Amino acid sequence: MAHPVIQLKGVTRVYSPGSNQVWALRGINLEINRGEMVAIMGASGSGKSTLMHILGCLDRPSSGQYLFANQDVTRMTPDRLARVRNREIGFIFQSFNLLSHTPAWENVCLPMIYAGIPRPVMIRKAMAMLARVGLKGREEHLPNQLSGGQQQRVAIARALVNEPSIILADEPTGALDTRTSIEIMALLQQLHQEKGLTIVIVTHEPDIAAYCERLVRIRDGQIIEDRPVPEPRLAARELAALPVEED
Partner 1 sequence: MDLYAALTVAWRGLLANKMRSILTMLGIIIGVAAVIIMISIGQGASAQVTSRIASMGSNLLMVMPAASFGAVRGAGGQVNSLTLDDARAIGELPLVQNVAPEARSQVTASFGSRTWTTTVNGTTAGLQAIKGWQMTAGAFFSNDDVDRAALVAVLGPTVVANLFPSGFNPIGASITLNNLQFTVIGVLPSQGGGFGGADQDDVIYIPITTAQRRFLGQGVVPNSVRMINVQAQDTTSLTAVQEEITSLLRQRHHLGANQDDDFRIQNMTAVLDTVAAATGSMTLLLAGIAAVSLLVGGIGIMNIMLVSVTERTREIGIRMAVGATRGAILTQFLVEAMILSLVGGLIGVAGGIIGSKVVAMLAKWPTVLNPMAILLAMGFAALVGIFFGYYPARKAANADPIEALRFE
Q: Note whether 175 binds partner 1 by CB under 8 A.
A: no
- CA 124 from chain center: how many Å? 24
Q: Note whether 113 binds partner 1 by CB under 8 A.
A: yes
Tell me which residues in 41-80 interact with partner 1 (CB under 8 A).
53, 56, 58-59, 78-79
Q: Note whether 14 binds partner 1 by CB under 8 A.
A: no
Residues 29-38 as b or e (16 or more Cβ within 10 Å = b)? ebebeebbbb
Q: Among candidates 39, 98, 11, 34, which has minimal Cα distance to 217?
A: 39
Nearer to ligand ATP, 33 or 62 (CB): 62
Cα separation, 148 vs 203, in Å, equals 17
Nearer to partner 1, 50 or 189 (CB): 50
Instruction: Tell me which of 42, 47, 61, 111 binds partner 1, using CB under 8 A.
Output: 111
**What minimum distance in Å lies between the beta carbon of 44 and ligand ATP?**
3
**What minimum distance in Å lies between the beta carbon of 171 and Mg ion?**
7
Q: Among candidates 193, 190, 213, which has minimal Cα distance to 201?
A: 213
Instruction: Tell me which of 9, 83, 132, 179 binds partner 1, using CB under 8 A.
Output: 83
Cα separation, 111 vs 122, in Å, equals 10
Choose the binding region for Mg ion from 48-56, 60-68, 207-215, 228-236 (rule: CB under 5 A).
48-56
Cα separation, 201 vs 224, in Å, equals 17
Q: Note whether 86 binds partner 1 by CB under 8 A.
A: yes
